[in-house]
Structure formats: C-alpha cells, structure tokens
Amino acid sequence: MENLEIFNNELAKKAAQIGRLPNEWLEEIHLQNYFKLFIPKELGGLDLELTEGLLQEEKLASLDASLGWTVTLCAGAGWFVGFMEKEMREELAKEPRLCLAGSGFVGGKAEKMGDSYRISGNWTYASGAFHASHFTANCELFENGKAILDFNQKPVVKAFILRKSEVEILDSWNYMGMIATGSHAFRCEDLAVPTYRNFEILPEKTKLPDPIYRYPFLQFAEATLAVNILGISIHLQELIEKSFWKRNETRSYEKRQIEYFQKVFAKESKGIQSLRSDFYHAVESSWIQLIEEREISASDLKKASRISRKLTQACRLSNAKLYPFAGLEAAKTHTELNRVWRDFNTVSQHALLIFPF
C-alpha cells in the first residue's frame, strides 16, 4: 500500500536543500517499484499499461515536482529494457535497487573493437544521477577511427548501458528549479563495454512481446512529460488559491475582487480539467488501437502528440494568469509556492513540448 504522506513539504524542502531525493523518499519509491512502472513482472517490475503509468506519474508530480519528474525519467529509462539483449535484462533484474538514469543527448563515441566497444563521452541532464544504479548513454559508432554511416550517410547512433561505477558524475545542475532531480551530467573515458550492452529504440528492435514496447517512443515521451507538467500545475494552482484566501484574511478584498478571482480561477480549473480528460481519452484510444490492431494509425499518433502539447501550452498560460493572485508571498524564495513555481518554470522549458505543433 502506498504511503503518500511521506512525500510531504518538509521532506520536499530537504530534497531541494540537498539537491537529490531524500532517503525517506527513495525507500518508498523502491518499496513501491516506481522506478519500474513499465518493466515486466518477471523482471521485477509493475508491468503497468500506459494510462496506468501516466496516472501514477501525474499523482507523484502533483505531490512534488522533482519527485514526479525523477520517477518519470528513471521509469522511462527502465522502459528501454524492452529493447535490450537478454543478458543485459538479466543483469538489471538482479539489481535490488535498480534505477536507470540517462540522457537523450548524443554525447559519446563508441569505437568497435571486436566483441566490445571503447566508449568516451560526456552526457547532460541525467535526472536522478546520484541514486542511479545504471546510466543510458547515446553514442556515435566508429570503427578503425571512422564513423559508421547508415544508408543515408548519417552517423549510426546506439544507446549503451553503463554501470554507475564506470562513470563520473559531474556537478552541473545549477538551475532555479527542479533542484532535487539532481539532473547532473556524467562522463567516461576509454571505457570497455561488451556488445550486449547496446540497444536501439526502434519498433523492429523490440526484444519483448509486451505491447508497451511497441508504443512509439516520441508519443510515449511526450505523454509522460505532459502529465508531469499537468501534475505540477495542479499543485501550483492549489497553492495559489490558498495564498489568495490567506491574503484576504488581512487585506479584506472587495466583494467584486473576490468574485473576479473566483470566476477566473473556476474558468482556468475547468479548462485544465477538460484538457486533462481529452488527453487521457486520446492516449487510451491510441493504446486500445495498439492492442487490437497491433499498430497505431498516423492520424491517431498525431492526435496523441497534439493533445500532449496542447495540454502543456494550456498549463503555461493558465499558471501565468493565476500567479499574480498569490501576491508577494509567491516571490518569497523559502515558500512552497515559490518552489513549485520555480519547478514549473524550469520543467516547462523542456524542448520536446515547447512548440504547440
């Protein structure tokens, strides 16, 4: 049974101070297998369907932004097991505190050397770096000092699994928000890695039959990020509402001012909830289509992408409209409201969902 009370504001403040998730949270995360949302049960995971996983991620993000984001990114990296070789999957399954962190950045070079690769590189934004057991790292492939090219004469890129003991974590996460994600960079130099530790995230490269691994990665990533932005927005707007009514106790707003706030807040809340419903409907429809027809039509994939982006844009606009009602309390850096506002305005900068199309 989940112990959501552990994810409280006091520990959230501690998390921001130490720049990583506190041990109290990590114990609950591992107990509940949150880092293994999409890993099969035979490998020790929860084996959730897509919508189930998204709802869990949204719930955690509404409790704390860094909590939800770290779980989402590490669980997303855990999703990669569906594309890994059996030997690699079995190694990960033996890890009692499995947590994969990683970066989408192609920051490394992998030189083919017989049955292994020699890897060197530097990768950015690995959320959960300090408590990760393994890292995923994208590399361009080389052989005999020359880049390996595909049919379009573009560099071939593969992802590799690196153990924590094989990398150096670089203290590089210096942003105003999402501090507890500890999204630091990592590096390695001339590291020998066996070939079974590479994988490609392509539909034809899936190694497991579970349908979750046939759901396209782009839409999977967009949806998981969107529910985090949604959860953080719900939290932020709850705090803004509380701040307004607390200010009213001392300022005694005029009746027309209170009515105006209530009207604006109700409209924004209704709008977000409506889009939330549309979002989950679109995602679930695409999932059902995948189960029943083994693939998702291009038009339905476009709908899934569009609603993720539309929901994100709506959250940005809604939060900006409501934020002034919180008053200067929202600008005090030690308050929960300010921390959540900084978290939102950091995570909403993610490149994947900046544009509405």
pLDDT digits (tens, 9 = 90+) for 300-329: 999 999 999 999 999 999 999 999 999 998
Residue at 208 is within a domain: no
Co-location of 228 and 344 in the same domain? yes
Does residue 87 belong to any structural domain of this protein? no
CA–CA gap between residue 321 and residue 264 (Å, rounded)? 9
Mean pLDDT in residue range 59-69: 98
* pLDDT at residue 357, rounded to an integer: 78
Report the pLDDT value the prediction gives residue 329, as an integer from 0 to 100: 83
What is the CATH classification number for the domain harbouring 305? 1.20.140.10
Mean pLDDT confidence for 48-68: 98
Q: What number of CA atoms fall less than 13 Å from residue 232's CA on the CB side?
A: 31
Residue 353 has pLDDT above 90, yes or no: no
* Cα distance between the two ends of the chain: 40
Say if residue 203's pLDDT is above 90.
Answer: no
Say if CB 128 and CB 22 are below 8 A apart: no
Examine the pLDDT at 231 and tell me if it is beyond 90. yes
Q: Residues 109-123: what's their mean pLDDT?
A: 96
Same domain membership, residue 348 and residue 222: yes
Q: Are residues 166 and 281 in the same domain?
A: no
Range of the domain at 23: 4-82
Q: Which of 203, 236, 269 is the last residue of a domain?
A: 203
Domain stop point among 182, 203, 224: 203
pTM of this structure: 0.96
In a domain, 304, yes or no: yes
Residues 154 and 238 in one domain: no
Percent of the chain with pLDDT over 90: 94
- How many domains does the chain divide into? 3
Mean pLDDT of the chain: 96
Same domain, 344 and 248: yes
pLDDT band at 281 (very low <50, low <70, confident <90, very high): very high
pLDDT at 1: 87
User: pLDDT tens for residues 153-194?
Assistant: 999 999 999 999 999 999 999 999 999 999 999 999 999 999
Q: Would residue 76 count as lying in a domain?
A: yes
Q: Which two tokens stand for residue 77?
A: 């990296």
* pLDDT of res. 192: 97
Q: Is residue 318 part of a domain?
A: yes
- Tell me what the mean pLDDT of segment 199-204 comes to: 93
| pLDDT given for residue 325 in this prediction | 97
Amino acid code (one letter) for 131: H
